[in-house]
Amino acid sequence: MSLPSVVPADGLPARVTIYEVGPRDGLQNEKGLVPTEVKAEFVRRLIAAGLPIVEATSFVHPTWVPQLADAAELMVMLGEQGRDLPVLVPNERGLDRALELGCKHIAIFGSATETFAQKNLNRSLDAQFAMFEPTVARAREHGLDVRAYVSMCFGDPWEGAVPIDQVVAVGKRLFDLGASQLSLGDTIGVGTAGHVTALVDAFATAGMVTDQLALHFHDTYGQALANTLSALRSGITTFDASAGGLGGCPYAKSATGNLATEDLVWMLTGLGIEHGVDLDQLVATSSWMAQHLGRPSPSAVVRAVGA
Ligand code: HMG
Ligand code: MG
C-alpha cells in the first residue's frame, strides 16, 4: 500500500503547491559531486512525478558551493524545460549568468541574522540589501519572477533565538524589493508548531497575505511535519520540500535535510489536500537518487513505501 487513508480535517486549505528544492538545497550539501547528467535526470523525474515547481540549481560563486558549479551545464542540458525552473541567484553576477541561459524565475536568499549574513553571503545584514536591490530591480526589468528566501527565521546556530520582529523586518524588506513570494526558512530545523503560528501571524499583522508566504522547513529535530500542519492551519498553501529529505546548508552548522517531499505528500494525501504528485513515482525517484549517493534516504515514507 502506498497511500494513507483519506480523512479530511476542518479548516485546512483544499490545495497546496509543493515547491521542490531537492536538486538545489538537497544536492548543494552532498560531499561528493553528482554528475550533471544525473542531476538533469533527477529534475526530469521530479517534474514527471507531478511536482509543479522544481528549483534546479544555484548561480552562486562556484568556490562557495562547488557541488553546484555545473549550474550552466545543467541548464543547457535541461533545455527549454529548464528555463521555467527557478534558480538561486545572490547578486548581479549570478543574475547575468541566469539571464544568459534564459532563466525566467530566480530566487534571492537573505538572512534574518547578522552572523549568517556574514557566513553565507560575506555581507553584513544591512549590506545584503545593497547586493539584492539592483539584482531584483534588473531581474524585474527583464520580466523575471523573483522569489525571496529569508533564512534563520526560527533560530540561528551562532546567535540563538531570533526575535520575530527582526524576521518580519528583514523578510518584509526583501519581499518589498519586488518579490512575488517570501519563503520563511527554518534553516536549522529548530522551530516548533506554536512558533510557526506566531511568525505567520506577525507577517499578517505587517500586511502580508498568506498567499505571499511559503514555509521552508528543515527536519533536524523531527518537527517539520508538525510545523507544516501548524502552517496549514494558518492558511499557508506553499511548502518547500526536498525529495528523499536530502539537504542542508553548507554555511549553517547543524542544518540537516529538508522536510522530505514524500513525507509531506503522505500527510497532505491523508488530509485530502490536493497536491498533484504521484507518490510512487516520487519514491522511485528518491530511491534511485539514494543509490547514486550511496546511502538510504532519510525519509520515513521513502523507507516504508520502498520496503
Ligand atoms: P564574495 O566573495 O563576497 O563576492 O561572495 P564578490 O562580490 O566580492 O566577488 C568576488 C569574485 O567572485 C568576483 O570575481 C566576482 O565576479 C565573483 P573576480 O572579479 O575576483 O574574478 N562572483 C561570482 N562568480 C560567479 N557567480 C556569482 C558570483 N558572485 C561573485 N554569483 C557571494 C559573495 C554572495 C557570491 C558568495 O558569498 C556566495 O556565493 N554565497 C552563496 C552561499 C550559498 O549558496 N549558500 C547556500 C544557499 S542558501 C540556503 O541554502 C538557505 C535556503 O535553503 C533557505 C533556508 O534553509 O533557510 C535558501
Ligand atoms: Mg534550506
SS3 210: helix
Crossing angle of helices 224-233 and 193-205, in 10° steps, is: 40
Report which residue type is found at 226. Answer: A
- Residue 195 near ligand 1, beta carbon < 6 Å: no
Cell numbers at 305, concatenated: 513505501
Q: What is the pLDDT of residue 164?
A: 98
DSSP summary character for residue 180: S
C-alpha to C-alpha distances, 33 to 23, 248, 288, nearest whole angstrom: 12, 15, 16
Cα dihedral across residues 69, 296, 183, 80: positive or negative: positive
Q: What is the pLDDT of residue 248?
A: 67
Smallest CA separation from ligand 1 atom 35, residue: 61
- Residue 122 near ligand 1, beta carbon < 6 Å: yes
Q: What is the pLDDT of residue 307?
A: 76
Q: What is the pLDDT of residue 28?
A: 94
- Catalytic center residues: 249
Positions of the chain with pLDDT under 50: none
Place of cell 503522505: 266
Å from CA of 30 to ligand 2 middle? 13
Length of the chain: 307
Report which residue type is found at 111. Answer: S
Rg of the chain (C-alpha set) = 18
Rounded-to-integer distance, Cα 192 and Cα 217, Å: 10
Q: What is the pLDDT of residue 31?
A: 86
Å from CA of 242 to ligand 2 middle? 9
Pairing of strands 105-111, 17-20: unpaired
- Residue 151 near ligand 1, beta carbon < 6 Å: yes
DSSP summary character for residue 26: I
Question: Which residues contact residue 45 at a Cβ distance below 8 angstroms, ignoring those fewer than 6 apart?
Answer: 281, 284, 285, 288
User: Cα 79–85–86 angle (5° rounding)?
Assistant: 135
Question: Which residues contact residue 114 at a Cβ distance below 8 angstroms, ignoring those fewer than 6 apart?
Answer: 124, 125, 159
Smallest CA separation from ligand 1 atom 16, residue: 93
SS3 155: coil
